[in-house]
């Protein structure tokens, strides 16, 4: 008898992490700890990293911000930028942008490099520890952070990928309007704060894509498990998980995921393609059990 191709490859450890992540990330918005959730995501790429060291680094950076910060929020934001980008030289990774490690907060703390959203989380978490409240902004070109300056009664937009430089709101709005070209939602809607869950969802989507680029399908499956722990109703993630399981020979799981997608996504443009995959998976299962 040949090798059983229907065996499960998913590690119980990874499933445990996904469930733990879902518990942390689905709490009340104010109670969700971005740092802890991001550290769980980081274990998809680097299971053995030292979380205590990473937490201590965040605390250390926040301490440097508090030490020399002025009294106003403006002064503290300027000190935050100085500590992170002038003194510690955090920067966006333009050389290996799509490397999965760039999606990991602990890696950014270690190397000083990351994707826009990873560096945004770094800013948000150091700021929180230093008594500042920053928010993520899901701009279409890349992720930003903003600070509500109550003294000046205005919002300040900062670009963590480019050394935390400030972007004028009018210039930002004009850029969004030019990109939008009159179609879709009001461009200024992209300047609204996003929730922590939306930040985590975007990080995981980036990680899933980066893992597929490297053909690390097992990491991509785990990232998708995290996404489904965050949004169990996402049919697209269910479909993607099925396709990824097919790539790794997990045909029973692929069949289950693809059938769920096909049954509940009536009229989807990829319905015929998914139906073909379902037949292909059934053939593989029949071959393996023969």
Summarised one tens digit per residue, pLDDT across range 58-88 is 999 999 999 876 677 888 899 999 999 999 9
Give mean pLDDT, residues 6-26: 74
Question: Kind and range of the H or E element at 114?
Answer: strand 113-114
Check residue 6 and give its pLDDT: 35
By C-alpha distance, which of 280, 283, 241 is closest to 14?
Answer: 241
Summarised one tens digit per residue, pLDDT across range 82-127 is 999 999 999 999 999 999 999 999 999 999 999 999 999 999 999 9
Would you call 3 exposed, middle or buried from its count of C-beta atoms within 10 A (0-12, 13-18, 19+)?
A: exposed
Summarised one tens digit per residue, pLDDT across range 260-271 is 999 998 889 999
Asked whether the beta carbons of 236 and 248 are under 8 A apart, the reply is no
Asked whether the beta carbons of 140 and 74 are under 8 A apart, the reply is no
89 three-class SS? coil
């Amino acid at each position: 008898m040949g090798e059983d191709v229907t065996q499960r490859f998913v590690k119980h450890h990874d499933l445990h992490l996904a469930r733990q992540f879902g518990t942390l990330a689905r709490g009340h918005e104010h109670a969700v700890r971005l740092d802890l959730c991001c550290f769980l995501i980081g274990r998809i790429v680097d299971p053995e990293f030292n979380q205590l060291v990473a937490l201590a680094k965040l605390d250390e950076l926040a301490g440097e911000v508090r030490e020399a910060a002025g009294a106003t929020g403006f002064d503290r934001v300027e000190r935050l930028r100085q500590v992170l980008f002038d003194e510690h030289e955090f920067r966006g990774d333009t050389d290996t942008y799509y490397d999965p490690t760039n999606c990991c907060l602990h890696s950014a703390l270690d190397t000083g490099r990351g994707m826009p959203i990873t560096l945004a989380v770094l800013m948000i978490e150091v700021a929180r520890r230093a008594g500042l409240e920053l928010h993520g902004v899901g701009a279409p070109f890349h992720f930003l952070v903003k600070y509500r300056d109550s003294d000046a009664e205005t919002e300040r937009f900062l670009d963590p990928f480019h050394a935390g430089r400030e972007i004028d709101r009018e210039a930002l709005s004009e850029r969004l309007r030019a990109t939008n070209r009159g179609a879709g939602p009001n461009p200024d809607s992209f300047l609204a704060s996003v929730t922590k869950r939306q930040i985590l969802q975007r990080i995981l989507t980036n990680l899933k894509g980066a893992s597929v680029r490297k053909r690390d399908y097992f990491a991509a499956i785990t990232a998708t498990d995290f996404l489904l722990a965050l949004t169990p109703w996402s049919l697209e993630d269910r479909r993607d998980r099925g396709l990824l399981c097919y790539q790794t020979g997990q045909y029973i799981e692929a069949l289950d995921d693809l059938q769920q997608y096909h049954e509940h996504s009536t009229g989807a443009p990829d319905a015929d393609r998914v139906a073909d995959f379902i037949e292909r998976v059934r053939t593989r299962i029949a071959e393996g059990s023969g």
